[in-house]
Copies of this chain bind each other. A is one copy, B any other.
Amino acid sequence: MSHNYRLIVSCPDRVGIVSRVSSFIASQEGSIIEANQHSDLATGRFFMRYDIRANALSAHDFRIAFAPIAEEFEMNWRLSDSDRRQRVVVMVSKESHCLVDLLYRWSAGELDCDIPCVISNHDDLRAMVAWYGIPFHHVAVEPDDKASAFAEVERLITAAEADSVVLARYMQILPPDLCQRYAGRVINIHHSFLPSFAGAKPYHQAFERGVKLIGATCHYVTEELDAGPIIEQDIQRVSHCHTPQDLVRLGRDVEKAVLARGLRWHLQDRVLIHGNKTVVFS
């Protein structure tokens, strides 16, 4: 029986990394299905992602055998088992378009993950989530007691054994300590072409400024609002004919598309964080 792994590496760039890693894989009778690598010239850092098929080797044995190489090259690395689906908790408020889109793609097999639950600060989308057979948790966030709400949110995330969390238009700001504990694992969709129009009501900001394109940005959540590493962005043309409500409507399509692409790449270990930027092997 064959196993599929993904080896994700970043390390200081130097001669011989590819040779050493690929020889190791060949020595274990693994074959490389897909290979991506990138040398960042500005920082001298090297990134690689190998999709590997191995017949005999277990993940455990792979990790033990690979450790000395990783140490020699000062690698920051992980091996993920492609056959094990990530567990992704989705968080929403009242706006349904991103959730509807994610659930459709998930049910159509486009997103290779399990969704143990959906958490919302409103109860509006319960029926839709129920239709997909997914548990729905309503955790209201009261302005004067956010701490207890987010304690409950974190309890649910932990109980769900979530690998990643997706903020699919969840209109609350996560507390800093939660951002830190899940660094690189919480994905947000922001409804503007960042860094333009960070913060609240970006479509209204865009309308006021009179831009001719609106956009959306999928990024990892960090403590600083709307400032984390960008995974994916896209835009939609608009004109003087469009009201703020039109921008909201047109923007929904961009948000859905950008979040779906960003999440899909994240689930396939195609997104490597590099400082406040990303390397995306799409």
Q: Could you tell me which A residues sit within 8 Å of B by CB distance?
A: 14-16, 18-20, 22-23, 25-26, 29-35, 37-42, 96-97, 100, 104, 108, 110, 131, 193-197, 209-213, 215, 229-235, 239-241, 243, 249, 253, 257, 274, 276-280, 282
Contact = CB atoms under 8 A, between A and B. Distances in A.
Given A19-B26, A26-B16, A26-B19, A213 B235 contact: yes
Interface of A is mostly: mixed
Contacts of A280: 212, 239-240
Given A193-B213, A195-B196, A210-B278, A22 B33 contact: no
Given A210-B276, A240-B280, 14 more contacts: A18-B18, A19-B26, A33-B39, A35-B37, A41-B243, A193-B213, A195-B196, A196-B196, A209-B230, A209-B277, A210-B229, A212-B230, A212-B280, A240-B279
Nearest to A232: B212
A64 B194 CA distance: 50
9 closest Cβ contacts across the A-B interface? A210-B277, A19-B26, A19-B22, A18-B22, A240-B279, A196-B196, A212-B233, A15-B31, A19-B23
B41 A29 contact: no
A19 B25 CA distance: 8
Nearest to A24: B19
Contacts of A210: 229-230, 276-278
A222 to B, nearest CB: 12
Contacts of A97: 104, 108
Contacts of A26: 15-16, 18-20
Given A210-B230, A253-B257, A34 B41 contact: no
Given A23-B23, A100-B104, A240-B279, A249 B193 contact: no
A240 B278 contact: yes
Nearest to A104: B100
A234 B235 CA distance: 9
Contacts of A40: 240
Given A15-B26, A23-B19, A240-B38, A194 B211 contact: yes
22 contacts: A14-B31, A15-B30, A15-B31, A18-B26, A18-B32, A19-B22, A19-B26, A23-B23, A35-B37, A38-B240, A100-B104, A131-B131, A194-B209, A194-B211, A195-B196, A209-B230, A210-B276, A210-B278, A212-B230, A212-B231, A240-B274, A240-B280
